[in-house]
Structures are given as structure tokens and as C-alpha cells.
Copies of this chain bind each other. A is one copy, B any other.
Amino acid sequence: MRSTVMYGAGDVRVENLPDPKLEQPTDALVRVVRACVCGSDLHPYHSMPAAEQGTQMGHEFIGVVEEVGSEVSLISRGDFVIAPFAYFDNTCEFCREGLTTSCEHGGFFSTAQSEAVRVPLADGTLVKAPVGDDSALLPSLLTLSDVLITGHHAAVMGQVGPGTSVTVIGDGAVGLLAVLAAKRLGAEQIVLMGRHQARTNLGREFGATDVVAERGEEGIAKVLELTGGKGTRAVLECVGYMNAYEMAIGTVRSGGIISRVGVPQYEEAPIGMGSLFGRNVRLAGGPGAQRSYIEELLPDVLEGRIEPGKVFDRTVALDATPEGYTAMDERTALKVLVRP
């Protein structure tokens, strides 16, 4: 099959690799109908050391089941399925609590920019959707694989509910869908911090009430101005860089929550008296591939109440995936959909 392989920073190729096969009786094989390039794929695209042995890429996909192992009972050949970016058994102690990214037998997908993917723990992982592989809803369904559930996780961990004031930091796909998720959960004021107008316009369409294009201290001052000098109860940090975290500290209300879903590109950061502790600011977030999120959001997608697929502004064939990386890196595309 054709599959996307990275050999180092800036070096993405599409190659012929052996077809995946069932390895465990709990596996399924899924033909990929749509995949995409993630903002987090850009981190290795910037920093991966060059290597002779390449690394397969991609963790977001929807597709059709081609084959299932002998112990798979909930999923059958021909089913259209959504795969979250992690796989999990959905039966262990952590999964039962909904924290599927901490599944005791789970892991993360890493070969999704391909024609086919082997899915471990298929019964736990895959969520069926009643659509055909030519559905107009494919882009929106694909966001349930990562960017929408991640934005939703940010809002849930930020305890966003009716009337909450929210700042969303970042106008990438996750930030924009965090806006949509916050709006869907009833947030009243949603301040989107981002400076790419086409993106922030989509953010307004998704529910942002205010847009702040400034960054750093200037951006913080603008948010405080919009919130009576107090900041917002929830700050959804959808970037992962230290300057975004610093803006989160500056814009969060005393007693509020900074909810992070951008993969942190730092390990240490301020959390002491002058940043979090003195004002009882809480910190939450992490990878959010909860199966329950897909189950909760899927009806809204199927019935057209939300259109998260609008974040895709370019589509490439699988063989052109490297161009997708370039476009996202150069910010000429917000989010690139890949069609095998």
C-alpha cells in the first residue's frame, strides 16, 4: 500500500509499504477513506533528525472495515468507522472512567496517512457511523478523529458550561474547534486569540464573540479590557508553546482554569505564587481521545447542527501528502485533508 513516511525535518515521502495484516484476534483492518495532517505533525516536521529508516505518519482517519479478527464482535466488514487518535480496550479501569488515553492496554495511532491501517483493540476503539464512503459529511466526521474531540476536551476540562467566559488561545484547527465546543456547551463570552483573519473569521462563525489579534502583554491587556479587568473563567490553550501558556496565565480569572490541549513544547513552566498558586488558578488538560466524546458529538455532526469540517481548507491525494505538510507549515492551509 501507499503510505506517508518522514525521514527527517522537512523530508516527507509517500512510499510503497507492505499491506498491514491482522496480528491479534482483537485487530481490525480499515481501508482509509480520509486522513489528514495534524498541527502536531509539524513538530517532527521541524525537528526530526535525518534518518535512513523512515517513520510512518498520521493519527487521524475514518474508513471502512475490510477484515476483523476472530475476537472482534462489535465491528464487521463493511462498517464505516471513526478512529480516535488513540486505541484502547474500553474495558479497563481508566477506560471505564472515560480516560481512554490512559488505557492499560492502549496506544496511539501513527500510520494513518496511508491506504490502510491495522486497528488494535477494534471493539474498544472504533465507533461506527451510518454513512457511505462518499458522504458529504466526511470532513466533519474526520474531525471526530482528533481536532474536534481535542477542542471539546479542552472545553470539558476547562469546565465550560452555560454562561462561562472563555478565552481560546490559538487559531489553528483545534483552537477554532475549541471555540465551537465552548459555544456548544453554552459559553457566553468567547474571546479568540489569533491573528490570521481568515481563521478568526471562521472562529466567529463557530461562536467567538471577540477576536484579539495581539499577542504577549498587548494581547493580555486586550483580553483584560474585554473582561472587566478580570480575565475569563476558562482559558483553552490550544497551541503548546511557552508564550501561549504565558498568555493563559495573563488572561485567566482568579480561581479559573487553564485547560491545555496543545502538546507542550516545554516541560518546566511557572506554577508558583506569582502565576497559579496565589490566585487559586487551576491547570488541566492533556490528550483527549475519549470515546465518549465521539459518541456525544456524532449525532450533532450527522444531523448538521455543527459543521466542524469547515476547518479543512485544502484536500490533497495521498501521494501529495508532502505538499500538505508544506502548506500547513507555511500557513497557506489551515488543515489539509488527505484522500487516499
Contact = CB atoms under 8 A, between A and B. Distances in A.
Interface of A: 93-94, 97, 99, 101-102, 157, 230, 254-255, 260, 263-264, 266-288
Contact of A94 (B157, B255, B281, B284): B255
A41 to B, nearest CB: 16
Give the number of copies in the complex.
2
A288 B255 CA distance: 11
Nearest to A228: B93
Contacts of A266: 272
B282 A287 contact: no
Contact of A284 (B97, B260, B282, B286): B282
Given A102-B255, A280-B285, A264 B273 contact: yes
A277 B263 contact: yes
Contact of A272 (B94, B267, B270, B287): B267
A273 B40 CA distance: 13
B285 A254 contact: no
B284 A254 contact: no
Contacts of A283: 271, 276, 282-284
Contacts of A280: 99, 101-102, 157, 284-288
B277 A273 contact: no
Given A272-B268, A283-B282, A277 B255 contact: no
Counting chain B CB atoms within 10 Å of each CB, the highest count among A101, A267, A288 belongs to A267
Contacts of A255: 94, 97, 99, 102
Contacts of A230: 93
B286 A277 contact: yes
